[in-house]
Amino acid sequence: MIKLEDFVKIKDYKFKHINNNAVIYIDDINNVEPESIKQLLNVSKLPGLVGDAIAMPDIHWGYGFPIGCVACTNYDEDGVISPGGIGFDINCGVRLLRTNLEYNEIQKYKEKILDELFKEVPAGLSSESDIRLSKSEFKKSIIKGIKWALEEGYADKNDLNFIEDNGYKRESSFDYISEEAIERGKNQLGTLGSGNHFLELQIVDEIYDEEAAKRLNLFKDQVVLMIHCGSRGFGHQIATDFINLMLKVMENKYKIKVEDKQLACVPANSEEGKKYIYSMNLAANFAFINRQIITYKVRKVFKKLLNTKEVEIVYDISHNMATIEEYSYNSKKYKLVMHRKGATRALPPFHPSLPNEYKEIGQPVLIPGDMGRYSFVLVGTETAYKETFGHTCHGAGRIKSRNQAKKTINYNELIKELESKGISIRAASKATILEEAPQAYKDALNVVDIVHNANISKKVAKLRPIGVVKG
């Protein structure tokens, strides 16, 4: 039985379990659902764990790992890699685009902009792209990653500087990818998908850190756009295939036992572990291209309707990924498998991975909220690098399941509420709108205030939605 009293406050906004290597960043431990705490404790017992299994204030129940979790294992000493610690939507992530326009310059065009975006960017569960590739062309594109998008005219050279890992995972291979994964993915590049994925037209509503905002070229009342999507059916099938493989070999071949079958895993440096890493990286390349093609289509719409070419990437980050990184923990150097499941990097100022433009402020952190309230821009900190392996939260976090939302929220009332706030919606289905209603999520401001006050990322700006495209 889960006992909340087994978590003790060791620091403001930080609770640690007395018997397990589990930490939660939260203002009130009673606000965490028992199911997700159980999952966190299960993660804390994974073979080869270094440090704590860490939960962010957006923690909620997920597959295997709770969503909003970071766990690092020792690659060189049979530390495991678990697809449940990455998620089915590999490299699901967020990209923020800035324009040089203010709200009053686009207000009369808003509905037309949304109509055009909805037409240009396919959305919905089975949505397919207007970009048709043969199987061999698809393979070439994904192996090249964002470089393919650059060659094909979907990207500008400067775009690559502002994408995590420059939008390209080199250690990737199609050798271990099923035909089903290829078939599911090859017609989905440049599509949003469904669920919580979106393309949102936003306004910079408030600036908290003038200097950081200036470095990011953000200003009050500025028109920006946020893209949230990932690797679609391609990544989902890869995750499914490797979970099934790991379930077969985990106990029989590697004598690994876990608290929950959804934590299926193998040593990261094993044959199966390396195959998964190369396959996961392919899905990451897919997701980078996916967000890039959507960016291209956004630029197309703004050029057509407003004759502006200035739609630039602020930053692009993943929150469903594992990376192999050198890291010093407790004065000892490790090669770590960094699982981030619904968590994002928050690298500090002067980290070598940052573009020169952002060296002095730290890595931009993008935290989407819900479609009825606000999203946030933050920056990474030294505290995060020391305490959380350089990570922070990734979003608001659900408080109602999709089924609960559909059963308890009135569609007409929801639409009226959004319209009263000046928020227009374009969606493939009513069900998606209900599933993603603001009432289904925690208040992102509370989540962001916790990570800000815990100093694992610092607030820069608040973004207000004025139009949303959803699947």
Q: What is the pLDDT of residues 235-250, one digit of tens each?
A: 999 999 999 999 999 9
pLDDT digits (tens, 9 = 90+) for 44-65: 999 999 999 999 999 999 999 9
pLDDT digits (tens, 9 = 90+) for 277-298: 999 999 999 999 999 999 999 9
Rounded average pLDDT over 14-21: 96
Q: Say which residue, 436 or 347, is predicted with more confidence.
A: 347
Predicted confidence at residue 123, as pLDDT, reads: 85
Rounded average pLDDT over 135-148: 95
Q: How confident is the model at residue 197 (pLDDT cuts 50, 70, 90)?
A: very high
Rounded average pLDDT over 350-379: 96
Given a contact cutoff of 8 angstroms between Cβ atoms, the answer to whether 165 and 354 are in contact is no
pLDDT digits (tens, 9 = 90+) for 148-179: 999 999 999 999 999 999 999 999 999 999 99
Predicted confidence at residue 428, as pLDDT, reads: 83
Residue 396 three-state SS: coil
Residue 377 has pLDDT above 90, yes or no: yes
User: Is position 394 annotated as part of the catalytic site?
Assistant: yes
What are the phi and psi torsion angles at 5 (to 5°)? Answer: -70, -10
Rounded average pLDDT over 356-369: 97
- d(CA 342, CA 66) in angstroms, rounded, equals 8
- d(CA 31, CA 60) in angstroms, rounded, equals 10
Q: Which CA distances in Å does 353 have to 218, 220, 447?
A: 22, 28, 26
If you ran DSSP here, which 8-state letter would residue 398 be given? Answer: B
The single residue listed with the structure tokens 């929150």 is 319
Rounded average pLDDT over 193-204: 93
Predicted confidence at residue 398, as pLDDT, reads: 86
Q: How confident is the model at residue 143 (pLDDT cuts 50, 70, 90)?
A: very high
Predicted confidence at residue 308, as pLDDT, reads: 85
* Among 290, 289, 291, 311, CA closest to 299: 311
CA atoms within 13 A on the CB side of 7: 26
* Among 70, 84, 94, CA closest to 339: 70
Predicted confidence at residue 338, as pLDDT, reads: 98
Least confident range of 117-131, 272-286, 358-372, 395-409: 117-131
Predicted confidence at residue 357, as pLDDT, reads: 97
Contacts of 106 (CB under 8 A, 6+ apart): 113, 223, 306
Q: How confident is the model at residue 358 (pLDDT cuts 50, 70, 90)?
A: very high
Least confident range of 13-27, 83-97, 336-350, 398-412: 398-412
Q: Say which residue, 2 or 188, is predicted with more confidence.
A: 188
- d(CA 308, CA 287) in angstroms, rounded, equals 26
Q: How confident is the model at residue 128 (pLDDT cuts 50, 70, 90)?
A: confident
pLDDT digits (tens, 9 = 90+) for 92-127: 999 999 999 999 999 999 999 999 999 999 887 777
Q: Which of 236, 339, 391, 394 is catalytic?
A: 394
- d(CA 301, CA 225) in angstroms, rounded, equals 12
Predicted confidence at residue 381, as pLDDT, reads: 98
Given a contact cutoff of 8 angstroms between Cβ atoms, the answer to whether 16 and 26 are in contact is no
Residue 457 has pLDDT above 90, yes or no: yes
If you ran DSSP here, which 8-state letter would residue 347 be given? Answer: P
- For residue 126, count other CB atoms closer than 10 A to its CB: 12
Residue 437 has pLDDT above 80, yes or no: yes
**What are the structural domains of the chain?**
4-470 (3.90.1860.10)
Q: What does the mean pLDDT of the chain come to? A: 95
pLDDT digits (tens, 9 = 90+) for 219-228: 999 999 999 9
Residue 355 has pLDDT above 90, yes or no: yes
Would you give the distance in Å from CA 64 to the centre of its chain?
17
Residue 1 has pLDDT above 80, yes or no: no
Rounded average pLDDT over 433-459: 95
Q: Which CA distances in Å does 299 have to 16, 167, 358?
A: 46, 19, 23
